[in-house]
């Protein structure tokens, strides 16, 4: 059992973490103090073109080595300790952040890969080779803040009153089958994909082997991390829409897919089920995922974990409990509960691009 909360402004109106905190702190009984975390989108506008690398390290030596690794592979435009306020939480790892640009376009053989691919590869490499240091957030203009503690303690520890984002995720953890440690807290992130998860992924064994075949490295000792990597693989690398990716992760039953009336819809669904059999999630889960496109929820086909959704004006709220929705916004216009396996997707309104906007995809330039 875990608690989930999320909110998004489709017009990208930024706000600090106070409302999301109310939504997750209300769900205290869904956690046990062994993990909580937040993800916020739109918090680093001044570095919006740079990857924001959040790094955890158990000791100074590992931090130095990890930092050296980053310097080797990235141009570091800004770096610093993530500010923390030690009130309740005193025993914590070293927490640093770096705003970086890949060095990939300087190397001939990497020209065909995108900057995203390069960054993922280096993040995975860092997480694999350093035993006591790892990256827990690597997207642009967003960040993950998590650790061992209650939602209130983690919120105060990172001082999330001081960050302003248009999309927030929050999680309250009750770890059962994996240890409660700083890396194991939610959200899990890779590039712009962040997820919080309530449940247990019984298909983890094969999801992980499937991802390893695409170069992903699972480090966090917990099943939920595969979801972030699967989203990156499906949406960014395999160019599926959010709808399609949701159907891959929580597909309709064969019996339902084979009876779809529309030939083209049926054939697409069957093809997705066949090709991505090993990406399908099984077990009880309610997942809330954020990416640069928006915020969306996925639940399992048997509906073994709760998810509720409320709307008011430009805002959409997600939570494990209806009371948490009202805690975030008292004037909700609608409150709904998705059916089992039904994805709910909220897309951001298109951003107005600056005139001199450049595609931040180095592959496009190199090709």
Partner 1 sequence: MTLAVNTPGLRSHFRPLFDREYCDGCGQCAMECSFNEIRMETRAGRKIPVANGRSCGACHRCALTCPRGAVRIVAEGMALRPHGVWQADAVNRVHLQAASGAVALTGLGADTNVPVYFDRLLFNACQVTNPAIDPQRELMETVTYLGRKVRSRQELDDVSGYHRSLIRLSMPLVFAPMSYGSINLNFQLAMARVARKKGLLWYSGEGGLHRDLYPYSDCVVLQVASGRFGVSREYLQLGRAYQIKIGQGAKPGIGGHLPGEKVLPGISETRMIPLGSDAISPAPQHDIYSIEDLRLLIYAVKEASGYKPVCVKIAAVHNVAAIASGIVRAGADMLYLDGYRGGSGATPAVVRDNVGIPLELALAAVDQRLREERIRHQASIIAAGGIRNSGDVMKAIALGADAVAIGSACLVACGCHVCQRCNSGKCPWGITTNDEKLAARLDPAWAEERLTNLVEGWHHEMQEIMGLNGIYDVGSFRGNRLILRGVGLSERELSVLGIKHAGE
Q: Which residues bind partner 1 (CB under 8 A)?
A: 176-177, 199-200, 202-206, 209-210, 212-213, 237-240, 244, 253-255, 263-264, 267-268, 270-278, 280-284, 301-302, 304
CA distance to 101, 121, 133, 181, 273, per residue, from 66 (Å) = 16, 15, 7, 20, 39
Give residue for tokens 């130095």. 64
User: Nearest 5°: phi and psi at 200?
Assistant: -145, 135
Output 28 or 268, the one with its CB closest to partner 1. 268
Active-site residue flag, 291? no
Output 19 or 238, the one with its CB closest to partner 1. 238
Respond yes or no on whether the N-terminal peptide bond of residue 187 is cis (omega within 30° of 0): yes
- What's the closest the beta carbon of residue 229 comes to partner 1, in angstroms? 15
Of the residues 2, 167, 218, 344, only one is catalytic, namely 2
User: Nearest 5°: phi and psi at 358?
Assistant: -115, 140
- What's the closest the beta carbon of residue 239 comes to partner 1, in angstroms? 6
- What's the closest the beta carbon of residue 198 comes to partner 1, in angstroms? 11
- What's the closest the beta carbon of residue 230 comes to partner 1, in angstroms? 13
CA distance 81 to 48: 19
Output 152 or 268, the one with its CB closest to partner 1. 268
| Contact in structure between 27 and 3 (CB atoms under 8 Å) | yes
Output 157 or 276, the one with its CB closest to partner 1. 276
Task: Tell me which residue of 84, 34, 26 sits closest to 54, measured CA to CA.
Answer: 84
CA distance 163 to 24: 17
- What's the closest the beta carbon of residue 186 comes to partner 1, in angstroms? 16
| Contact in structure between 248 and 234 (CB atoms under 8 Å) | yes
Tokens of 289: 């995922």
Output 13 or 256, the one with its CB closest to partner 1. 256
| Contact in structure between 346 and 10 (CB atoms under 8 Å) | yes
Question: Where in the sequence numbering do the catalytic residues fall?
Answer: 2
């Amino acid at each position: 059992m875990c608690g989930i909360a999320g909110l998004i402004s489709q017009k990208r109106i930024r706000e600090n973490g106070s409302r999301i905190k109310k939504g997750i702190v209300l769900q205290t009984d869904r956690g046990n103090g062994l993990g909580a975390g937040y993800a916020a989108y739109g918090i680093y506008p001044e570095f919006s073109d740079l990857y924001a690398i959040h790094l955890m390290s158990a000791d100074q030596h590992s931090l130095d080595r990890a930092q050296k690794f980053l310097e080797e592979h990235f141009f570091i435009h800004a770096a610093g300790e993530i500010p923390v306020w030690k009130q309740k939480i005193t025993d914590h790892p070293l927490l640093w952040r770096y705003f970086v640009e890949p060095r990939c376009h300087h190397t001939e053989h990497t020209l065909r890969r995108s900057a995203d691919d390069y960054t993922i590869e280096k993040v995975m490499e860092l997480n694999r080779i350093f035993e006591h240091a790892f990256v827990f957030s690597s997207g642009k203009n967003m960040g993950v803040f998590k650790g061992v503690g209650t939602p209130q303690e983690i919120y105060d520890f990172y001082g999330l009153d001081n960050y302003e984002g248009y999309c927030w995720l929050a999680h309250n953890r009750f770890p059962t089958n994996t240890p409660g440690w700083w890396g194991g807290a939610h959200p899990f992130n890779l590039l712009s994909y962040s997820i919080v998860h309530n449940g247990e992924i019984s298909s983890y064994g094969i999801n992980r082997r499937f991802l390893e075949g695409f170069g992903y490295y699972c480090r966090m000792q917990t099943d939920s991390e595969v979801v972030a990597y699967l989203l990156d693989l499906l949406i960014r690398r395999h160019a599926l829409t959010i709808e399609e990716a949701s159907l891959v992760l929580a597909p309709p039953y064969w019996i339902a897919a084979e009876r779809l009336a529309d030939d083209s819809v049926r054939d697409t669904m069957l093809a997705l089920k066949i090709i991505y059999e090993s990406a399908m999630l099984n077990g009880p889960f309610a997942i809330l995922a954020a990416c640069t496109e928006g915020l969306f929820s996925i639940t399992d086909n048997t509906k073994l974990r709760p998810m509720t959704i409320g709307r008011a004006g430009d805002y959409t709220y997600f939570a494990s409990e209806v009371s948490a929705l009202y805690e975030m916004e008292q004037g909700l216009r609608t409150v709904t509960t998705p059916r089992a396996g039904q994805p709910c997707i909220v897309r951001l309104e298109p951003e107005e691009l600056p005139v001199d906007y450049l595609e931040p995809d180095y592959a496009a330039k190199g090709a």
